[in-house]
């Protein structure tokens, strides 16, 4: 168990709702859910959620901390915002799902080898480093995120698409050696470092 | 609303030269030229974090990225509207503004981060963040666009695929989330025919999950394409860079999995307008399509 997870278990004891309200993006809205299920019924990947959104909200209130945070459910969110558009209570559900996923990851509870979680890391590392997306490098890292031999298989399977993107000038091999990036990279690094520190401090001290 | 003197342009990562929406960028330049829309690009803009940034970023770091763009825009282009052609960029920018305005704690974190680079954002004093489509619909007006058409796209039937993020959570003012009509009207303004009641108009293309969960993504895109064929469409048009990529470029994979024979072009609204305004096939970036839009090329080459 990560140190931070341990600290949060100690701090909130059996009140998981309070923990979510304090530490999860837009978490203060969770208690407003009236269990109508419109969100779950509106989700494009609905059938793939281990626990649908509506159920997650009830589980949070029931204190099912481990089950919620270690679930693959939140990682099914495609950010289509259908749940937000339709929720009769106006809950920012998409943001809460992102917040839960991100919090689970921070505590080391997100499921290992969850592909979207891994892809999310690759994506974030790339933009934090370059300021802008390097589509080619992210694509290649994505192919290889489950090891070298799988990576070769993935790359071969996608070579037709890669060729088509190059041919239509929507991807350039030179992206691999530099490519699109911001000028003030050191400034962006400083800014993100500070933002990260602020958030970490906010989470450990909140409610004290 | 009237057209502004100029707009502070935030193209976003996909709409850079030789990036995945290079064809959007080129056709958008042609469209802006035709409609006399002046853009001043924000110097050194950065990625908005897109819809997958939450996983590695966390709330304050992710929103700081958008706040940096807002502050840079203000520094360089004053109160000019920030215009993003990418739904994810537009949403992220607006979300950062909302959070600064409604959540003082998050706002404090964002400004602490920005202070490291000598920038700041202030509640109630940020420029408006708008989608390129809003400029067309609200500032220029579809009637005005229709009047300037020199080469109507006659005989082309198009499924207007709005997708998710251009439509939700903010959407275009006055449009419904379930059946927005502006894209159909834009198709008609260009002289083409819009597919009536396109069933998957606001369905999800799977967004960034196309990369991490391809099988699930292909299943969603399959339905989007099928519905376009069912409506008799010659092609699909979309306002979204990720929708365009997801719906156009995986058709051969989907054909292999499902035994379908999909081969339907997926173009941008900017390409329709560029062609309808007499721009060449190359200016409209029709050479940037993986599945060529033959009917548009024919009109452009006439």
Give the mutation candidate from B41, B58, B117 for the A interface (greatest A CB count, under 10 A).
B58
Domain-ending residue, one of A76, A110, A144:
A110
Would you call B13 and A132 a contact, using CB atoms and an 8 Å cutoff? yes
CB-closest option in A94, A182, A193 to B46: A182
Q: Which of A74, A95, A110 is the last residue of a domain?
A: A110
Contacts of A184 in chain B (CB under 8 A): 44, 117
pLDDT band at A17, cuts 50/70/90? very high
Which of the following CATH numbers is that of domain B141-301: 1.10.760.10, 3.30.750.24, 3.40.50.740, 3.40.50.11810?
3.40.50.11810
Q: What is the pLDDT of residue B190?
A: 98
Angle between helices A16-23 and A93-106 (to 10 degrees): 100
A-to-B residue pairs, Cβ atoms closer than 8 angstroms: 207
Residues of A in contact with B289 (CB under 8 A): 168
Mean pLDDT to the nearest integer, A96-112: 96
Flag whether A206 is in a domain.
Answer: no
Question: What mean pLDDT comes out for the span A103-121?
Answer: 95
Q: What share of chain A is helix, strand, coil (3-state, %, to 5)?
A: 65, 0, 35
Residue B87, SS3 per DSSP: helix
Instruction: State how far residue B144 is from chain A, nearest Cα, in angstroms.
Output: 31
Residue B244 to residue B24: CA distance in whole angstroms: 9
Each residue of A184-207: pLDDT tens digit? 999 999 999 999 999 999 887 654
Q: What is the CATH number of domain B7-132?
A: 1.20.1050.140
Based on the fold, state whether residues A166 and A94 are members of the same structural domain. no
Helix (H) or strand (E) holding B9: strand B7-9
B165 and A120 in contact by Cβ < 8 A?
no
Residue A171 domain boundaries:
115-195
Query: What is the predicted pLDDT for the residue at B87?
Result: 97
B11 — contact with chain A (CB < 8 Å)? no
Q: Report if residue A201 sits inside a domain.
A: no
A37 and A82 share one domain:
yes
What's the pLDDT tens digit per position in B217-234?
Answer: 999 999 999 999 999 999
What integer pLDDT is reported at residue A207 of this predicted model?
46
How far apart CA A104 and CA A73 sit, in angstroms, is: 11
Residues A161 and A176 in one domain: yes
Question: Is the domain of A74 the same as that of A44?
Answer: yes
What is the complex's ipTM, to 2 decimals?
A: 0.96
**Residue A102 C-alpha, separation from nearest chain B C-alpha, in angstroms:** 5
Nearest chain B Cα distance for residue A42, angstroms:
10
Mean pLDDT is lowest, of A138-147, B54-63, B223-232, B278-287, for: A138-147
Predicted local confidence at residue A137, as pLDDT: 87
Nearest to B263 by CA among B207, B225, B295, B221: B225
Single residue among A68, A85, A110 that ends a domain in this structure: A110
Domain count, chain A: 2
The alpha-helical segments, DSSP class H, found in B233-302 are 241-249, 251-258, 269-276, 294-301
Residue A202 covered by a domain: no
Q: Tell me whether B180 touches chain A (CB under 8 Å).
A: no
pLDDT tens digit string along B84-135?
999 999 999 999 999 999 999 999 999 999 999 999 999 999 999 999 999 9
Q: How many CB atoms lie within 10 A of CB A36?
A: 13
- The pLDDT of residue A1: 62
């Amino acid at each position: 168990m990560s140190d931070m997870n341990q600290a949060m278990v100690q701090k909130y004891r059996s009140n998981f709702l309070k923990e979510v309200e304090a530490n999860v993006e837009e978490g203060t809205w969770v208690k407003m859910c009236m269990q109508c299920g419109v969100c779950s019924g509106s989700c494009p990947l609905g059938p793939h959620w281990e626990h649908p959104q509506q159920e997650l909200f009830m589980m949070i209130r029931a204190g099912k901390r481990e089950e919620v945070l270690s679930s693959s459910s939140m990682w099914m969110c495609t950010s289509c915002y259908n749940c937000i558009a339709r929720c009769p209570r106006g809950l920012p559900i998409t943001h809460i799902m992102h917040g839960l996923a991100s919090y689970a990851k921070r505590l080391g509870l997100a499921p290992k080898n969850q592909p979207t979680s891994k892809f999310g890391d690759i994506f974030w590392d790339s933009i934090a480093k370059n300021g802008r997306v390097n589509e080619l490098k992210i694509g290649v890292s994505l192919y290889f995120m489950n090891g070298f031999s799988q990576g070769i298989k993935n790359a071969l399977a996608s070579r037709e698409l890669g060729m088509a993107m190059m041919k239509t000038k929507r991807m350039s091999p030179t992206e691999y050696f530099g490519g699109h990036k911001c000028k003030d990279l050191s400034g962006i690094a400083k800014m993100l470092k500070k933002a990260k520190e602020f958030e970490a401090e906010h989470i450990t001290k909140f409610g004290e | 609303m009237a057209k502004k003197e100029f707009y502070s342009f935030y193209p976003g990562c996909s709409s850079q030269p030789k990036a995945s929406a290079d064809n959007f960028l080129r056709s958008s330049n042609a469209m802006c030229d035709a409609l006399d829309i002046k853009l001043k690009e924000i110097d050194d803009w950065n990625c908005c974090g897109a819809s997958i940034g939450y996983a590695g970023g966390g709330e304050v770091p992710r929103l700081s990225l958008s706040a940096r763009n807002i502050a840079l825009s203000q520094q360089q282009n004053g109160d000019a509207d920030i215009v993003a052609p990418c739904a994810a960029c537009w949403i992220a920018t607006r979300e950062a503004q909302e959070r600064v305005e409604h959540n003082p704690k998050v706002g404090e974190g964002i400004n602490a981060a920005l202070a490291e680079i000598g920038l700041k954002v202030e509640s109630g004093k940020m420029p408006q963040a708008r989608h390129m489509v809003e400029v067309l619909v609200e500032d220029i007006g579809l009637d005005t666009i229709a009047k300037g058409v020199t080469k109507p796209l006659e005989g082309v039937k198009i499924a207007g695929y709005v997708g998710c993020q251009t439509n939700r959570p903010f959407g275009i003012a006055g449009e419904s989330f379930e059946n927005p009509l502006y894209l159909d009207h834009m198709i008609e303004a260009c002289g083409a025919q819009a597919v009536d009641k396109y069933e998957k108009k606001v369905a999800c293309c799977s967004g960034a999950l196309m990369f991490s969960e391809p099988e699930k993504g292909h299943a969603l895109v399959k339905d989007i394409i099928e519905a376009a064929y069912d409506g008799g469409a010659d092609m699909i048009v979309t306002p979204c860079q990720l929708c365009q990529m997801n719906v156009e470029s995986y058709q051969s994979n989907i054909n292999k999995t499902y035994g379908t024979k999909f081969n339907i072009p997926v173009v941008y609204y900017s390409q329709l307008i560029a062609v309808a305004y007499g721009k060449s096939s190359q200016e409209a970036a029709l050479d940037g399509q993986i599945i060529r839009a033959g009917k548009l090329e024919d009109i452009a080459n006439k």
